[in-house]
Structure formats: structure tokens, C-alpha cells
Structure 1
């Protein structure tokens, strides 16, 4: 997948160069603000695209921002893109001018992916989004609802450690693919929360979800040259998005029908899962506007996609960072085993006592924001005075949460180092949090468009990491030194590891039968 995404930048560059004579007459390049943000030099037609080819976008944009400033203007074809790369710039976008930047861009690709209905993630700012946001905050992802789904998470955590124990027992010297096992754990925990159990076409469904993330992550010719009919004709991304939409609708209808059949037969859990809640609200009319089936499908896809991909990515980075820092690993394991002394599994109600474990996750989120550029926003009206600059109407606005989390001006000379102790009580960063009030730390965003699923994501992360540290001792394969561990990132909408994490696991606390 990473190779396909990487090659798309080269395709986009060369395709636009070849189309230059026909596209150029359609371009009307003008500054709409009196004082646009600064940016790097641009080429005719393709604008700033050449600055991003061959690099991870969040890294390339961080490097460009170091030369051109914390609020920077790029042009991707016809599309103006403003990038915020400092806490002050992020505050301007997500607090001071939050209303102006609260909507989502409707690119050609996203229109195809969401033609049947809009969930909360990609809905434009407006009444539909406000209703779905309220639904998520008060019903689907409230602290009370997340707590009610605890037993399902604990069951999936038990399956995770059983899978690790089984894989490690088959060969004492063979490493375990921790990335694959964590992805399965997170996915199954989210599936259980959303639909109450497994689904028949699970593998096909998850493959399509992953494909949707991949399609949404890229820019097609039609996205960067929206006024060109020729670009739309040459763009295969829109056709791929249309085909994906049809197949995803078919699979989602199957998931909903299967769920309703189980409920009618009296099967499933006693507690309502998230699909139960949506179907109940649809039936009872608990919203100001009707909740149609297309919207229900879109919300469920949002929950599956956001909940599984970002959480799995963060957990993999947490394990990798602990392997790179043995002292932190020992400290985290000692705490988990002290809190759980005399027990044979990890109950979720013990997690609040594991303070250092929470710091490990916090530091992982700082260094490895799962969505490094957050989800894009769009400027709804020409907005003046953003760090002294004017942002043109229609500009895509990106917040580089990855760069902000590593900003030495905020985090000191060790900003690139993994050091959970920076958040300990009494430390200079102890009060800094990721829930939208501290703009030097925004892995979940802030303002109106902050991620509504923080509580669910943290519960899955903390339980999974505590379970791995409680039951197993960990080592790098072949006795490799910590500094030799591969920490390369892959290319995509999320900053996942480029290569799977393989580790050797030794059972320390016996794993209960599941």
C-alpha cells in the first residue's frame, strides 16, 4: 500500500506536466488576500507539488515551514493549501478563527466516497454535522457509553495475549508479528463495540475499509485541478472511489442486516452496541432531523476507520518506543505488575492506577500523531489577521500536528526524544494535555472538529498495552541493540510504521484460557 501511495506523487507530477498545454488556459492564479502567507517557489501549473515528491508530506512540510514560517501557503495545482506548523498557528486555526475553518473540503474523491451519506468526520460544517456531533458526544462516544462496553474490550485483550502466547510457544526462538496481532486486537475491539460481535464478511469488510483510507489519503488530478474537465477525464481516482463506494454500501448493508437478524433471534450482548443506538434513534426519531440509512452507514464507517487505524498505529509505536528505551520498558512493566499483583489478567478498572503507562501513551501521541496532518479543513470565507496574514476563501487548511509535537520551542532541545517523564507531576509539561486546550499537543485536533472518540481510543490503547506488558517479557529478535530497531514511517493518511514490528515474547505471567 505504501509503495502505491508513494508512486501516486510521481504520477501526479508527470501527468500534470504532460497535460500542461491543455490545462494552463484554465488556470486563474491570483492572490485573493492582501497579504497571503509566505511559501516556497512554485512551478507553472503544478505549483508546489514538486516540493512534496519523494518525501513524507508531514516531514516535507515541517522542513518547508522551518524556512518559510509557521503559517505557510502551498499550491497543489489550482488548490491553495495553508499549513499551520506551530502552536500559535494551530491556535489561530482551531480557536481564534475556528468558525471560519470548521468545514471540510469536498474534493472530487471525497464526494464519490461519501455520495450515499456523510458521517461526522467529513461532513461540512452545518446543521447535519451539528446533529451528528451531538449524537456522538451524548450517545455513541460518551464516557458512560464507553464504560458500558468494557467487557468486550477485556475479552478482546484476553484474545490478544492468548494469540501472543500461542505464537511464541510454537517456537521459542521465533519472533512474533506484534503489528499484526495489535491490528487484529484493535479491529476486533472496535467491531465488538460497534456491532456487538464478529461479522461474517469480516476480512472483506476490513480490506475495503483499508482501501477507503488509501483512496481518501491521495490527491487525484480532479482534486488539484477541479476546474478542468480534462483532469476529471484523466483521473482514475474518482472511478476507483465510485467502485469502492458501491462495494462498501453492499458490505455495510450486509453488516446491518446480520446485526438485525441476531437481535431478532435474541443473540448478542445484553448491552446496546453502537449500531443498536443508531437504529433505536432512527426508529424513535430522537434527532431533530431524520436519521436515514445512508447516514447510519457513514457514521459506522467513520467509527470503524478512525477507531481501528489510529489506535492500532499508536499502539505499535508505543511498543516500538519502549523497545528502543529499555529503562522506560522496565519502569512501565514494574508499575503494571505492581498494580496487578496477585491477579491473572488486566481489568479495565485498574488502568487509572497505572500512571506511568498513561505517560508512555501520552509521549507516543506527542512523537507519533496518528494523523500527522489531522483531517483537512477548508476556509469558508477570506480570513484576515491569521498570524498577520490573509487566508483565501476555499483554501485547504492543514495543521501539522506531527511537527507541532516535535517543536523544540515548545518541548525543549530533547523534543525528538522519547521521554515519558516529561509529563510527570512536578515537571514543566505535567499539565499539558491532548484534549484540545494546549496547542503544543494536538494529536486529536481541537475546537469544533476535535476527534469525538478520544475516550474509546484511549481505553483500547491502555488496556492493550497494559496486557502486553503484564503477561510478557519482550526482546528484539537476534539480540539486536535497541538503537538498531527500524523506526521508518510509511506513507498514508496515518503515520503507520513502514514495516511490521517483530519481537520475541516470553510469558512472565500465565495467560488464562479464553
Structure 2
């Protein structure tokens, strides 16, 4: 991050150093002196603590700082007062006692643009619009019944992935599991959202997948305007605005085309069974009926929801599948246990079905452990306090940006035994789950702004991993050992494995 903003910081100093910065800061310090802020590292003029976030990734840098300054830590990131939460106990206090105050969202520069001016549930400010759209998501799009209705889509796409791996195994060709997992999750979301069938490899779909990848990267890329909002104009100079505008126009154009096609189809024949609707049809139906919402649902709102569905829905599933398989290849004992469980249960059946998943106890523990080690969004989605409050005996001002460090919480020694080891057996006698009720494991967040899509992602991840383990033996390419598996992370709002996970698959003999 430091290297990306150093040139802009020089500009900032030249332009603003003489514009009463120290007068403003002096007034700010006198106001802060009456508050008991959380502890934090010493900050330097103008940039605050930005110089201390020079590690490979923001969440790991924050984790290291929290080990020195505590589970509730105060930072100044540029001009933004920031709170970092790094323990289950602190998260519990926030979500149980101050959830409403911590339900705001900061207007992040790239996310505001890509989400159609914060029309997505992930980035919308807390208020009437967010409540209305979240209600639509929970009751109409991601309800338990709707998720069950999409079982056939998940099954078909997992079978398609297995067929591709089978073809590679016949010639001992190395399998790029990262590419296959992303294709799997994108195809499932595409079918659910748009109703498209087919193999998902047509030029238009592949182009859209690339656009989504670029959007995800832009939203996760360090952005000077997010820590110095007054310097947003620099994005016009450094090319970021141009990249954002192009990506936004591509997404907007694609969604416009899809919505026009759905409206044309709807005009030709009405849907008799709502259960057969895809997500776009459902949103257009709700838009048409004013009695279904307390406020008008515009086309921009619909597009914002679709951005959420694709970026949150596909990326998190793909990342979790790959991190799970990467950890299993590095931990052969866990791999063997998971394979033994699924093979004993299936006893020669052709494939694992969703009805089999509740009996795969060890598999579920493996996935929980992967989520503890590699939460898809390590800092969740940043929050902003809507009012002042007190947490852990410290005063937290309004308009404070908040990072809930799910990585640090998942490795909190007070909450976990052997936190640095991949050890699925820790969940044998544990009721801890990742659905937001156990604060030591919150890969999808908690409270009213927890991710509503976890029920959509979970069956796809479990079904995919179960069939990968059931149908194939997995090994590293020749010449590689487990120590050679690169576990570095790529930049993005969802953290993917930087290097593709490439393995050799052998079909399980009958």
C-alpha cells in the first residue's frame, strides 16, 4: 500500500501542508484528549499509521499490530480514524451490544461506483433502502426454499466439473482446480440469476466473468481516496477513474441486455410458477408490483443487487473450495480421513448428492477449518460507526471506520487450541459454526449486516469438495512436495490463492 500512495502523498504535502493542517490537527487533538481511545501505535503527521501497513496484506499487517497493541486497536489511516477488532470477545461485545451503531458502511471509492452508487446490500448505508433490499434477498432470493430449488443447478454444474477432471485424468494432465472452481461457481450463479443454461464457456459469458474479475480486483485494490477523500481527484490522473468507468460501463451494458431480454420474455408469456423464476425475473416482478415493497425498486437498484449476487456469491464459493483443497493436499492425513468418510458413506454410488451431505461430519469440519484459516473476506466488509459508543471501556467516536479482522479472530489463542495448525478435529465435540452465532468463527460476519448469502454458498462448497474427494485421488505434479505449495494470497475484496492450485487427479478404481 505504501508504495502505491507515496507519490500522491508528496503531492498532498505540497498542496495542503500550508493550509492550516496543523491548526486543524491541534483542534482535533484537544478534542480527543477528553476521550479514552483504544491503544494503538504512534502516528506521524498527515499519513497517521499508513507507514505501518507495509506487509504483504492488510489483514496480516493489522494482525501483527494487534498482537502488540491489543484486541481493540485505534489507528489513523490518512485522515480516517479507524478501529481494528481482533478477538472473539471484542467481536461478541460489538455484535451483541452495539450492532446498530456498527451497522454503517463507509463510502469506499471503487465500491461506490461498481455497486451502482451503493445500491448493493453489501455497500448500502444502513437505512430504509438497505432494510428493504435485504428483506427481498432473504425472503425472495436466498430463502431456504429458494436455495433448495436450485439444487438441480448445483448438481449439474458439479457433474460438469467432474467430467472435465475425468478427461484430464485419462491422460494424467495437470488439473487447474482454481480455474475449474471459479468456472463452477460462476456458472451456478449465472444460471440462478439469469436462467441461462449451457456450458458457460461461450464468449459472452467468459467476457462477463473477466469483467467481474476486474471489478473484484478494483474494489480490493488500495485506493488513495479511501484514506484521503479530498485527494479523490488523483484517480483522474493515475488512470483509476478510467479503469473504473470502463468496468462499470461493461457491467451496466451487460445487465441492461439481460434485463431487456427478461422483459421481452415476460411480455411473451407470464410465469405461472414463481418457483421457476430466476433472480432477474423475481426482481423485475417485484419492481412491477408496488405493493411488494415500501419504496420503488429502480433498475439501478436491481443492478446493485446483481453485483452482490455475482461478486459475493461466486467469488466466496470458489475461494473456499480452493483453500480447502489446498489445505488438504498439504495435510495428507486430513485428506485421507475425509476421503474415507465419503467413500464409506457412498459405497460405490456414482456421485455424492446433496441429500448425503448431512452425514459427512468430517467433511463439514474440514470446511469449517478452511474458513477459520482462510475467511473469504479477511476483514469482512468495512463498517462505520453511526454514533459514538463505548466498547471494552474505550470511547469510539461516530464516523470511525471499523475493520473486523476475521483472520485474527480465527487465530486468537484465547479462543482456539493450536490456532496455527490446520486441524479439523478441533470441531469434533464443538458446536461452533460459521453462521454468525459463534464469534470466534465469523467468516461471513455477524449481526444484522452479516452475509445473507452463506446459505447459498455452503451447499455448493460442500457438494463440490465431497465429489472431488470421492471421485479422485489427488497428488502434486512430479517434483513437487507439500512444502512447495504456494499459499500466498492475491489482492481483492475476496482473497483468492495467488498461484493457481494445479494437481494431478487419478480416477478412483472400482
TM-score, structure 1 length as denominator? 0.91
Please tell me whether the aligned partners of residues 476 and 503 of structure 1 are also in contact (alpha carbons under 8 angstroms): yes
Q: Which stretch shifts more, 392-401 or 280-289?
A: 280-289
Q: Which residue of 2 aligns with 1:446?
A: 446
Number of paired residues? 495
**CA displacement at 1:108 relative to structure 2:** 3.4
Give the 5 Å matches for 1:92-491.
92-115=93-116, 118-169=119-170, 171-172=171-172, 174-198=173-197, 201-228=204-231, 231=234, 234=237, 236-261=239-264, 271-285=276-290, 286-383=292-389, 385-412=390-417, 414-424=418-428, 427=429, 430-478=430-478, 480-491=480-491
**1:443-493 Cα shifts (integer Å, max 9, x gaps):** 110001000011110011011111111111111111533333222222332
**CA displacement at 1:83 relative to structure 2:** 0.6
**CA displacement at 1:266 relative to structure 2:** 7.3
Change (3 A) 1:264 1:340: farther
**1:49-86 Cα shifts (integer Å, max 9, x gaps):** 11112421111000000111111112221111111011
**1:193-220 Cα shifts (integer Å, max 9, x gaps):** 2112257621221112111111111342
Q: Which residue of 1 aligns with 2:502?
A: 502
Give the 5 Å matches for 1:8-157.
9-24=2-17, 25=19, 27=21, 28-29=24-25, 30-31=28-29, 33=32, 34-115=35-116, 118-157=119-158
**CA displacement at 1:92 relative to structure 2:** 2.9
**1:38-58 Cα shifts (integer Å, max 9, x gaps):** 211222211111111242111
What stretches of structure 1 of length at least 5 have no aligned partner?
Answer: 1-7
Q: Which stretch shifts more, 335-344 or 495-504?
A: 335-344
Task: Tell me the secondary structure at the aligned position of residue 288 of structure 1.
Answer: coil
Cα distance between partner residues in 2 of 1:380 and 1:490: 32
Cα distance between partner residues in 2 of 1:229 and 1:257: 35
**CA displacement at 1:146 relative to structure 2:** 0.2
**CA displacement at 1:500 relative to structure 2:** 0.5
Cα distance between partner residues in 2 of 1:175 and 1:204: 25
Cα distance between partner residues in 2 of 1:122 and 1:218: 16
Please tell me whether the aligned partners of residues 113 and 248 of structure 2 are also in contact (alpha carbons under 8 angstroms): yes
**CA displacement at 1:109 relative to structure 2:** 3.1
Q: Which residue of 2 aligns with 1:4?
A: none
Please tell me whether the aligned partners of residues 372 and 410 of structure 2 are also in contact (alpha carbons under 8 angstroms): yes
Please tell me whether the aligned partners of residues 221 and 235 of structure 1 are also in contact (alpha carbons under 8 angstroms): no
Give the aligned CA root-mean-square deviation in angstroms: 2.2
Please tell me whether the aligned partners of residues 13 and 46 of structure 1 are also in contact (alpha carbons under 8 angstroms): no
